[in-house]
């Protein structure tokens, strides 16, 4: 049976490495002292197994394997297995995580993925553009005007700012309906529909009311903050309501920063967001005040796009990478160079303020994207898929 | 109007402090460049307001106030407002967070709280004892035997290990039912019912199936991992099914460690867990391999127990503090000295392995607790409530 593989880096002395490996292997599985597991077969089956251990002078590199049964084919228990209690240890970072094909298939990953979004937008040959509806507190006419002009200018996807939220579903519905209508008004002119991802933040019956509102309006996608709402909840909501799921990075910095604790950016935004059903994974592009490095961007991109499994029939769909974080028009060529054709460029304030008429600012972003479409790089990904 | 108050500590130079304050104030609210907010009244109403700023030589201390409207009376948007995007900045730690009484009341906090748990256990005059059912993978007869003997020995509360999970609801129901029956068998002998908190980990319809199983068995409480399942989801589930909610620390270390990023332990386990409806907040006691300091324990305890609001009628209920993390019998007196009478002592492996007969081990823990009940210290809390 193939096993789950996890690589932890732990800042500790070389003579502490074996103890740390043992602590994590037991903590993440049976979470108890050895004396409380008297059955050799339970130890053998359940406790994490040390596959490799070395120390690089600064940190121990601990490679554990886990029985995939522990994840019961679900994202929440898998996430707990990977890092739930390990987070409580000082200086432990999850650097790599691989699940067997069969487990990945059972969990499922994205429903639409990169190709589904290509189909939904009708754009197959260039990076896609996204902006955000903001700011919170602005008059509704302003928010609908952003949507209208952005769509008129040729924008592909528009999402709610994750700060948009209401005290009741009726107000939520009124706002989402108005924005949807503005996009339809633009589509009547352009002949092409800009996709809209409203922010979903409810729990219990309110969650379902918000999702039903999207169904009523035939809205195709939704924006979720999976590290606040729960990855499993977001995944299930998208599945139950047949939505293209865009996952926001809110709270991701708690995991990815600083770099000697938490979870490596490519594992969180790549492996976990993808397994948790992200059709679009939003993360920080390089070169801003809040940003991830170019290397981290490349690593995330690979985790989102490249085959996850070894057997083609078990492979889960690729997720569309979405670098974000205040990107100016001048940064677009470098972003495309880094991410290739298959990405969604999320630009908020820089796009909205480029020109007094947002449709003109949008047009300039789309033109820039079209002028910088890479041909070569992307074929690699298609070949690998 | 009273405002939300947040204290961020940012490792930066003194001449960077004002920029960081401005960045967080805008990022957490309107998340856009100033040019995109042309309305003075929206800036005034929505953007975080700098109340105080100083630099201690190492770090900036930024005190911001926020319009409570931004939280729309819900825990998920409140959490996003407090730290969602701020997490993405390097070296920003949320050190303090206070919400106005009216907002706290609207969000609601615990349904049962400390007093409700006292009533449910029938124990009013001493710290309570809890253990965990483990290890994952052990034969069901072993798990039921732990429950039976622990209850026979006088244990107050027993919870599932957060690693316990099943691939289908029927198996979940079978296990939970068997454990519940074992506890009933013990209650038939002792005349007193040990409370059981099964681990709830489902999403969508499976979440409801698991919760319905608890309703069918008249089980009073449940264990949730709010940082995996989502605080709002856990809060709503406990409310919809009238359950005493125990919140587990899985993933909390991603936020609390290391201490120059993330969220201070008392704010996360105290303020946020309580607002998110924790009747019991599980955190790490001092003195173990994975632990929080005595100072952090005291700070968490205060945040859980002391009045949250200023006006008595708006006050939300106190949460029962639950220090955990492999506590031996010898550590119990110090723990009680630290936490007083109003706490739940969670002891797993150390209790289960103290004596071959778990009922004897449990008895010894209860005896130790009874011998160390503090009288004085606790009255402080009662007076303050």
What is the pLDDT at residue A375?
67
Average pLDDT, chain A: 94
Q: Identify any residues that bridge with B59 across adjacent strands, giving them in sequence order.
A: B11
Chain B residues within an 8 Å CB radius of A247: none
Is B291 exposed, middle or buried, given 0-12, 13-18 or 19+ CB atoms closer than 10 A? buried
Q: CA of B251 to nearest chain A CA: how many angstroms apart?
A: 5
- pLDDT, one tens digit per residue, over B334-372 is 999 999 999 999 999 999 999 999 999 999 999 999 999
**Closest by Cβ to A90, choosing from B29, B31, B258:** B258
Give the integer Cα–Cα distance in Å for B96 and B263: 8
> Distance from first CA to last CA of chain A, Å, rounded?
25
Give the integer Cα–Cα distance in Å for A266 and A264: 6
Q: CA of B24 to nearest chain A CA: how many angstroms apart?
A: 11
Q: B360, B153 in Cβ contact below 8 A?
A: yes
How does B114-145 read in b/e, with b if 16+ C-beta sit within 10 Å? bebbbebbebeebbbbbbbbbbbbbeeebbbe
Alpha carbon B337 to its chain's center:
21
- pLDDT, one tens digit per residue, over B119-164 is 999 999 999 999 999 999 999 999 999 999 999 999 999 999 999 9
State the DSSP H helix or E strand holding residue B93, giving kind and residue range, or none if neither: strand B92-98
- pLDDT, one tens digit per residue, over A142-193 is 999 999 999 999 999 999 999 999 999 999 999 999 999 999 999 999 999 9
In this predicted structure, the answer to whether residue B17 has a pLDDT above a threshold of 60 is yes
Q: B70, B29 in Cβ contact below 8 A?
A: yes
B77 and A167 in contact by Cβ < 8 A?
no
Give the integer Cα–Cα distance in Å for A97 and A83: 10
A231 and B232 in contact by Cβ < 8 A?
no
**Closest by Cβ to A76, choosing from B79, B228, B236:** B228
CA-wise closest residue to B306 among B229, B385, B239: B385
**Closest by Cβ to A229, choosing from B167, B225, B230:** B230
Q: A197, A210 in Cβ contact below 8 A?
A: no
Chain B residues within an 8 Å CB radius of A255: 254
Q: B58, B260 in Cβ contact below 8 A?
A: no
Give the integer Cα–Cα distance in Å for B347 and B340: 17
The angle formed by the CA atoms of residues A303, A307 and A311, to the nearest 5 degrees, is 145
State the DSSP H helix or E strand holding residue A21, giving kind and residue range, or none if neither: helix A17-27
Strands of B320-324's sheet, edge to edge? B221-224, B244-247, B280-284, B320-324
Chain B residues within an 8 Å CB radius of A165: 72, 74, 77
B233 and A230 in contact by Cβ < 8 A?
yes
Q: What is the mean pLDDT of residues B303-332?
A: 87
Q: B223, B198 in Cβ contact below 8 A?
A: yes
**H helices of chain B, where?**
17-27, 40-46, 75-79, 101-107, 113-121, 140-152, 169-190, 204-216, 226-229, 231-240, 252-256, 265, 273-275, 294-305, 332-339, 349-352, 358-371, 376-384
In this predicted structure, the answer to whether residue A325 has a pLDDT above a threshold of 90 is no
Q: What is the mean pLDDT of residues B241-266?
A: 97
| Structure ipTM | 0.96
Q: CA of B23 to nearest chain A CA: how many angstroms apart?
A: 10
- pLDDT, one tens digit per residue, over A88-102 is 999 999 999 999 999
Taking the CB of residue B57, how many other CB atoms lie within 10 A of it? 5
In this predicted structure, the answer to whether residue A297 has a pLDDT above a threshold of 50 is yes
* B9 to A31, A289, B86: CA distances (angstroms): 34, 17, 11
In this predicted structure, the answer to whether residue A337 has a pLDDT above a threshold of 50 is yes
Give the integer Cα–Cα distance in Å for B150 and B190: 11
């Amino acid at each position: 049976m193939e096993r789950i593989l996890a690589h932890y880096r732990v800042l500790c002395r070389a003579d502490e490495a074996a103890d740390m490996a043992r602590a994590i292997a037991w903590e993440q599985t049976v979470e108890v002292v050895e004396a409380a597991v008297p059955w050799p077969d339970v130890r053998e089956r359940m406790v994490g197994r040390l596959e490799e251990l070395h120390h690089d002078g600064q940190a121990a590199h601990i490679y554990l394997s886990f029985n995939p049964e522990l994840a019961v084919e679900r994202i929440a228990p898998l996430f707990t297995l990977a890092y739930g209690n390990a987070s409580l240890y000082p200086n432990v970072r999850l650097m790599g995580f691989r699940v067997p094909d069969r487990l990945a298939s059972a969990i499922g990953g994205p429903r639409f993925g990169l190709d589904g979004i290509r189909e939904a937008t009708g754009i197959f040959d260039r990076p896609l553009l996204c902006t955000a509806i903001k700011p919170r507190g602005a008059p509704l006419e302003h928010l609908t005007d952003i949507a209208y002009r952005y769509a008129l200018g040729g924008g592909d996807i528009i999402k709610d700012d994750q700060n948009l939220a209401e005290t009741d579903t009726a107000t939520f519905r009124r706002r989402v309906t108005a924005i949807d209508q503005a996009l339809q008004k633009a589509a009547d002119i352009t002949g092409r529909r800009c996709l809209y991802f409203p922010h979903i933040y409810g729990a219990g019956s309110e969650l379902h009311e918000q999702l039903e509102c999207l169904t009523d309006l035939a809205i195709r996608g939704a924006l979720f903050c999976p590290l606040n709402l729960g990855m499993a909840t977001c995944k299930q909501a998208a599945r139950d309501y047949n939505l293209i799921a865009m996952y926001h990075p809110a709270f991701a910095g708690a995991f990815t920063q600083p770099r000697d604790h938490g979870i490596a950016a490519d594992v969180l935004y790549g492996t976990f967001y993808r397994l948790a059903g992200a059709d679009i994974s939003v993360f920080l592009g390089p070169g801003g005040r809040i940003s991830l490095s170019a290397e981290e961007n490349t690593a995330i991109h690979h985790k989102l796009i490249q085959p996850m499994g070894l057997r083609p029939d078990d492979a889960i769909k690729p997720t569309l990478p979405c670098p974000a974080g205040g990107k100016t028009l001048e940064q677009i060529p470098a972003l495309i160079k880094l991410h290739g054709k298959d990405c969604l460029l999320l630009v908020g304030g820089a796009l909205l303020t480029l020109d007094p008429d947002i449709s003109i600012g949008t047009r300039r972003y789309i033109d820039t994207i079209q002028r910088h479409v890479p041909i070569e790089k992307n074929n690699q990904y298609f070949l690998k898929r």
